Chain A
């Protein structure tokens, strides 16, 4: 309709596919996030560790580069093995956590504060699509700084390493992908659930930090008092980084130091030292992760409604 006509007319044209509507949410939310220059700078800076890691991998395999840079010694600069990729992914995982603490709370809380959910849900748009759209924002952002670039580093290593390296280590691609996706899903769900229940963004970010760091402190406290490792069941970061990821990278859990006296320095030499507590079973770690994700989905289900019903 030309503006000069200024009459109402119905729309009889084509509609977009129902399954793709949640991407509208993702697109607009990403656009809003990248309107912020500090956030854009943070995203760009998150790539620097990856670039440095790529340079290290290149240096490891390039004698000429080592000569030019006057790097002495004949041994490898770094051992590019599963442990290496796990460590890189862990480092990027921490950056992903910071990014989630920045971007996550602003995804749901403003919509609830401004009573926007009836506008969303009065359209052919479900609550599940709403959550999917919001999670899509975090999924895209966090993937861009976690498993995706680490896979590229893996490709770089595969290209530079000797023949047969890829054939021996191709399984790591799945490990990198699954590890990254798992971490993204957990922190995304936590962030959205907190954002749905805490209306102020700063407080929601603090909450998210609290869940990880306060829980970690509690876990250590319990472990120290009860001489156990079961306290780590409260520490979701340890369960993922220290139990599940090592199993995905075929590394085994980090157990207590081989020297028992290192764990009990107050005991005199020759004293009988108690056995180290058993590590957390893998199935328990997965169970806790599943419970946390389910709890987050339950909280989102309770909160994300078009109309709040007050029980009278």
Chain B
């Protein structure tokens, strides 16, 4: 199966400056998160996928189609929700979405029907005949989402979709994003500063820093590994306990004051750890299923400039026996 987005030596220069420096990789997730500090190149990356910026070197493909050579075919597949306030002046909401759907190639009657559907779907059904200029910020965000999905694209590019939304509106937006993500044949790219939003909606994350890939990790596999990753706080002979655990096939990392991290192999159950602790006379004061959260991965990626992309399980911290 073709990757959703594939880039090989992708370099983009704008205004005489190199913004993206030779990015290479492939993104296969249902929902791909795009993270990075300000100026990392996230918007440039999205604009390059849309064909707004031409790569100065390298290639980028969406569903196997080169963005430079088959720009129209790529745009046919894409729905774009921009970050900033973008709309056509003087139009009502449903007319605006209908207009956008017709420009994407839908016949007039279909576009009208889908515009109404999209508005009801995002929860703006009652406000669809109002002029866009009268919408609140949250309503405008939902209207932007409606115009991005009205023509039924395969790939949604969402740039800061929860910008300026209050908590209930944000939850509603994230719920919509998850529903869209779960639609068969649908993929999305979510660019956001909010790690929690990306963590909730995405199963793969690309972290950019200064135009380079700081990390590329599969959150779904991270979540699976989470269940096998323990943080313990013990009292007693932690060395003997760690040795015995390693003898069972676990990976252990000891820290000060009885703290340790253990990665369980698939065949080891949690109750076996309890049994082992009882045998060695070790009290387990605290136990967390804690993994590197996306925040840990992000912060680590920011601290290690030029680090190679981190593979899923290798992201766990702590070398054995520190």
Contact = CB atoms under 8 A, between A and B. Distances in A.
B86 A16 contact: no
Given A113-B89, A114-B89, A307-B52, A11 B103 contact: no
Contacts of B147: 119
> How many of chain B's residues touch chain A, expressed as a range?
35 or more
Contacts of B104: 123-125
Contacts of A12: 152
A307 B99 CA distance: 21
A116 B105 contact: no
B185 interface: yes
Contact of A119 (B51, B73, B86): B86
Interface in B74-133: 75-76, 78, 80, 82, 84-91, 99-100, 102-107, 110, 114, 116-117, 120-121, 125
Given A10-B183, A11-B114, A120-B103, A115 B121 contact: no
Given A9-B152, A110-B90, A115-B82, A123 B103 contact: yes
Given A24-B99, A114-B87, A124 B15 contact: no
> How many of chain A's residues touch chain B, expressed as a range?
35 or more
A305 to B, nearest CB: 8
A118 B180 CA distance: 22
A208 to B, nearest CB: 20
A240 to B, nearest CB: 33
Given A111-B88, A123-B75, A11 B100 contact: no
Contacts of A312: 15-17
A11 B76 CA distance: 11
Given A114-B86, A115-B82, A7 B107 contact: no
Interface in B133-183: 147, 149, 151-154, 179-180, 183
Contacts of B51: 121
B120 A3 contact: yes
Contacts of A10: 152-154, 183, 185-186
A14 interface: yes
A73 interface: no
A122 interface: yes
Interface in A95-143: 110-111, 113-116, 118-126
A6 B87 CA distance: 24
Given A16-B106, A24-B99, A120-B103, A306 B85 contact: no
Contact of B80 (A18, A32, A114, A122): A122
B106 A11 contact: yes
A309 B15 CA distance: 6
Contacts of A192: none
A264 interface: no
Q: How would you classify the secondary structure of chain A's contact residues: helix, strand, loop or mixed?
A: loop
Contacts of A3: 116-117, 120, 125
Query: Which of A18, A111, A309 has the most chain B CB within a 10 Å cutoff?
Result: A309
B280 interface: no
B33 to A, nearest CB: 20
Query: Which of A15, A111, A310 has the most chain B CB within a 10 Å cutoff?
Result: A15
Interface string A40-61: 0000000000000000000000
A310 B39 CA distance: 14
A266 interface: no
Given A3-B120, A14-B107, A309-B15, A121 B52 contact: yes
Interface string B41-66: 00000010011110000000000000
Interface in A1-26: 1, 3, 6-16, 18, 21, 24-25
B14 interface: yes
Nearest to B99: A28
A32 B95 CA distance: 11
B72 interface: yes
A125 B110 contact: no
Contact of A8 (B50, B87, B149, B154): B149
A104 B181 CA distance: 42
Contact of B86 (A116, A123, A124): A116
Nearest to A110: B89
Given A8-B180, A21-B105, A116 B87 contact: yes
Nearest to B53: A307
B79 to A, nearest CB: 8
Query: Which of B80, B82, B105, B106 has the most chain A CB within a 10 Å cutoff?
Result: B105
A27 to B, nearest CB: 9
A37 interface: no
A-B pairs with lowest CB-CB distance, top 4 = A11-B152, A15-B105, A122-B80, A311-B15
Interface of B: 14-17, 47, 50-53, 72-73, 75-76, 78, 80, 82, 84-91, 99-100, 102-107, 110, 114, 116-117, 120-121, 125, 147, 149, 151-154, 179-180, 183, 185-186
19 contacts: A3-B116, A3-B117, A7-B121, A8-B149, A10-B153, A10-B183, A11-B114, A11-B152, A14-B107, A16-B105, A21-B102, A114-B88, A115-B84, A115-B86, A116-B87, A119-B82, A122-B75, A126-B72, A306-B52
